[in-house]
Amino acid sequence: QLQLQESGPGLVRPSETLSLTCTVSGGSISTSSYYWGWIRQPPGKGLEWIGTIYYSGSTYYNPSLKSRLTISVDTSRNQFSLRLSSVTAADSAVYYCASEVGSCSGGSCYSKYYFDYWGQGTLVTVSS
Amino acid sequence: QSVLTQPPSVSGAPGQRVTISCTGSRSNIGAGYDIHWYQQLPGTAPKLLIYGNNNRPSGVPDRFSDSKSGTSASLAISGLQAEDEADYYCQSYDSSLSGYVFGTGTKVTVL
């Protein structure tokens, strides 16, 4: 069973860059069976998909965040990371990483668009 | 920006059946993209409850079921139990937004 764990600073200054890492255990990040995603949840509010990465490095971003967002993968460390630049208070949220079920057919792989394993989440506050 | 609309809250007595609606549009549910459901207990990460066409991960009781029609979907909880008190979110893919979308969330209260 996969386990995911987020790590990174809990406090980020406005206009700076938020950086988080998700460490995957219980399986390899370099598998065609999974994509890897980030989701966030502002306090007391709903869930928002941030972006997704495949082990090959292919990325899929929420268009509303795309200009500030970079998601990368480090297969040697079984980790994937999130960088969100120019943050404001509106970026304060619990950030979750999650595994996203994938499937391959006829040489093409695709996500099935749902998240089956989640990290516990990490609260990031943007404040001076 | 939530493009899937859910009622803010639903409630029911133990043993009753409750349903949670998830209303979308022709670019998500109506386009044929699967709907998935998550349960979020207070202070915890969301948990996958139902995926695809009424599939439940191992350990999820068959009291939970879903259905889809047109541009809407519904989650039904039968035999409501105190442990079902949580927030529930639907999720799908939206072709207009080119991304994954979550519902607004519904708080289920067991009376």
For the segment B25-84, what is each residue's pLDDT rounded down to a tens digit? 999 999 999 999 999 999 999 999 999 989 999 999 999 999 999 999 999 999 999 999
Residue from A80, A10, A5 nearest A50 by CA? A80
Say whether A63 and B99 touch across the interface (CB within 8 A).
yes
Question: Which of residues A94 and A112 earns the better pLDDT score?
Answer: A94
Q: Which residues in chain A have their CB less than 8 angstroms from residue B102's CB?
A: 39, 46-49
Say whether A47 and B100 touch across the interface (CB within 8 A).
no
Instruction: Identify the DSSP state of A69.
Output: E
Q: A52-66, A101-115, B8-22: lowest mean pLDDT where?
A: A101-115
Nearest CB partner across the interface for A119, out of B33, B45, B105:
B45
Give the HSE-up count for residue B104: Cα atoms under 13 Å, Cβ half-sphere: 13
Say whether B91 and A113 touch across the interface (CB within 8 A).
yes
Q: Average of pLDDT values for B10-37?
A: 96
**CB-CB contact of B75 with B105 (8 Å):** no
Chosen for mutation from B50, B100, B102, B104 (greatest number of chain A CBs closer than 10 Å) is: B100
Kindly tell me if the per-residue pLDDT of A112 is higher than 90.
no
pLDDT of residue A107: 79
**Chain length of chain B:** 111
Q: Average of pLDDT values for B101-111?
A: 97
Kindly tell me if the per-residue pLDDT of B97 is higher than 70.
yes
Tell me what the pLDDT averaged over chain A comes to.
95
Q: Which residues in chain B have their CB less than 8 angstroms from residue A46's CB?
A: 2, 89, 102-105
Outline where DSSP puts E strands in chain B. 9-12, 18-23, 36-40, 47-50, 64-69, 72-77, 86-94, 99-102, 106-110
User: What CA–CA distance (Å, rounded) separates A7 from A95?
Assistant: 10
Q: Average of pLDDT values for A65-86?
A: 97
Q: Which residues in chain B have their CB less than 8 angstroms from residue A121's CB?
A: 45
Kindly tell me if the per-residue pLDDT of B1 is higher than 70.
no
Percent with pLDDT over 70 in chain A: 100
pLDDT tens-place string over residues A21-65: 999 999 999 988 899 999 999 999 999 999 999 999 999 999 999
